[in-house]
């Protein structure tokens, strides 16, 4: 299939100068021919990519071959982000956002306009793919062009999982090849080469290598705004910072269970993955890692949460984590709600996000039951030299990392 594009040249002294200076034969119109050899695309595909540089015809192929406009999102900036997904019930909206790697509860409550580029891009994807039916082809132009490359990879991994689980179809136009092994497309078309490549099988996702180090209490300042319950952190917590490609991506805090409860047992009191790196499964990997290390040291590890995205992750991780308790903290939530209502009456706070107060909260506790690690828990130490080049360019908190190596 050939796509013929033509535009009339409006005559003025500028266009006349260009046509005469460069000996343009046809000064009446500008014509472009784009090859779109896509007839061999499999009918049952989930993900396709039109790949090429700027000006190669990617956008034109999407519009003309699939005979529909590029899909777009719409957000009301007077509402909280999650309130824009009102064609779904609240639980469905949280699941959709989480499936795009946007599982930060505080982010759900903020308006779209204040989100980071990466968060806005994930929100756009969630809106577009969530509204699409299985009978239509979703079209996304300039995919990941405005986000950090590590963010692009995390986003691509989350997107491909959602598209395949929901059995939808999406075609992305992109000039970036680094996302392909994370997207795992069923086909790739290059208009510059006129070549269609069809994948015969899904390949294994690239390995994610994390570095974990002990850190001080103050490191929590980088992560606290992204925790879904509170910014508080117990001063007795043992804290860990997690790096991916030399960038801080996650924080884990662990506390012993109160005396008089379970002996030799600990709980994960805080686990936060920064929004830009959600969608890679880092949170579950960290839970399994710490659970296995504590088990090797003959210690039990628990986690108590009311985060829907963690519920979903644990349901797919039953061989490592066992549900030990579930409760509805109705009285606790009622007290919090009453306190907030009283503060609103006194003019101390305003509810201007469009979010209703919750009437109840489901809380679940899990115990690690998986295998023990071959590594020694005492090998995770304070270490500062890893952060030297990061601290200069990003975050001053790395100055607080202890320069002396200390055991847990």
Domains and CATH numbers, the chain: 1-35 (no CATH), 39-198 (3.40.50.300), 210-400 (3.40.630.30)
pLDDT at site 73: 94
As a 3-state breakdown, the chain gives helix, strand, coil percent values, each rounded to 5, of: 35, 20, 45
Element (DSSP H or E) covering residue 311: helix 308-315
Segments in the chain below pLDDT 50: 350-360, 377-408
At residue 268, what are phi and psi to the nearest 5 degrees?
A: -80, 110
pLDDT at site 329: 54
Residue 305, SS3 per DSSP: strand
pLDDT at site 113: 95
Q: Are 121 and 144 in contact (CB under 8 A)?
A: yes
pLDDT at site 160: 94
63, 84, 94, 95, 193 from 89: Cα distances, Å: 32, 11, 9, 10, 45
pLDDT at site 378: 45
pLDDT at site 77: 92
Give CA torsion, residues 88, 89, 95, 97, to 10 deg: 50
pLDDT at site 374: 62
Q: Tell me how far apart the alpha carbons of residues 155 and 148 are, in angstroms, rounded to a whole number.
A: 10
What is the pTM for the complete model shown?
Answer: 0.74
pLDDT at site 39: 80
pLDDT at site 391: 37
pLDDT at site 301: 95
At residue 189, what are phi and psi to the nearest 5 degrees?
A: -120, 130
- For β-strands 321-328 and 265-273, DSSP reports them as unpaired
pLDDT at site 71: 93
pLDDT at site 341: 63
């Amino acid at each position: 299939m050939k796509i013929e594009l033509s535009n009339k040249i409006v005559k003025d002294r500028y266009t006349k100068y260009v046509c005469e200076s460069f000996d343009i034969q046809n000064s009446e119109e500008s014509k472009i021919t784009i090859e779109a050899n896509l007839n061999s695309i499999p009918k049952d595909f989930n993900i396709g990519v039109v790949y090429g540089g700027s000006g190669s015809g990617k956008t034109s192929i999407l519009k003309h071959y699939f005979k529909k406009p590029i899909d777009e999102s719409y957000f009301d900036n007077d509402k909280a982000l999650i309130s824009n997904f009102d064609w779904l019930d609240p639980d469905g909206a949280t699941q959709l956002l989480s499936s795009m790697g946007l599982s930060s509860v505080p982010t759900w409550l903020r308006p779209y306009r204040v989100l980071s580029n990466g968060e806005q891009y994930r929100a756009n994807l969630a809106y577009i793919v969530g509204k699409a039916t299985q009978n239509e082809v979703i079209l996304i132009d300039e995919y990941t062009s405005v986000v950090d490359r590590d963010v692009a990879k995390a986003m691509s991994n989350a997107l491909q999982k959602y598209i395949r689980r929901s059995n939808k179809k999406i075609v992305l136009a992109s000039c970036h090849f680094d996302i392909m092994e994370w997207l795992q497309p069923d086909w790739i078309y290059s208009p510059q080469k006129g070549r269609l490549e069809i994948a015969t099988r899904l390949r294994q996702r690239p390995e994610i290598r994390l570095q974990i180090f002990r850190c001080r209490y103050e490191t929590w300042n980088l992560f606290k705004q992204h925790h879904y319950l509170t910014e508080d952190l117990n001063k007795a917590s043992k804290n860990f910072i997690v790096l991916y490609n030399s960038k801080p991506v996650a924080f884990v805090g662990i506390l012993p269970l109160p005396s008089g409860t379970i002996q030799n047992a600990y709980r994960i009191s805080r686990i936060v993955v920064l929004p830009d790196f959600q969608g890679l499964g880092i949170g579950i990997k960290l839970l399994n890692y710490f659970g296995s290390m504590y088990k090797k040291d003959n210690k039990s590890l628990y986690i108590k949460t009311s985060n829907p995205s963690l519920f979903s992750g644990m349901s797919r991780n039953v061989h490592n984590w066992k549900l030990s308790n579930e409760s509805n903290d109705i009285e606790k939530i009622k007290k919090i709600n009453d306190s907030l209502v009283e503060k609103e009456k006194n003019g101390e706070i305003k509810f201007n996000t469009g979010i209703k107060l919750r009437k109840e909260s489901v809380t679940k506790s899990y115990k690690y039951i998986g295998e023990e690690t071959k590594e020694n828990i005492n090998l995770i130490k304070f270490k500062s030299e890893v952060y030297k080049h990061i601290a200069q360019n990003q975050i001053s908190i790395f100055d607080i990392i202890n320069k002396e190596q200390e055991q847990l």
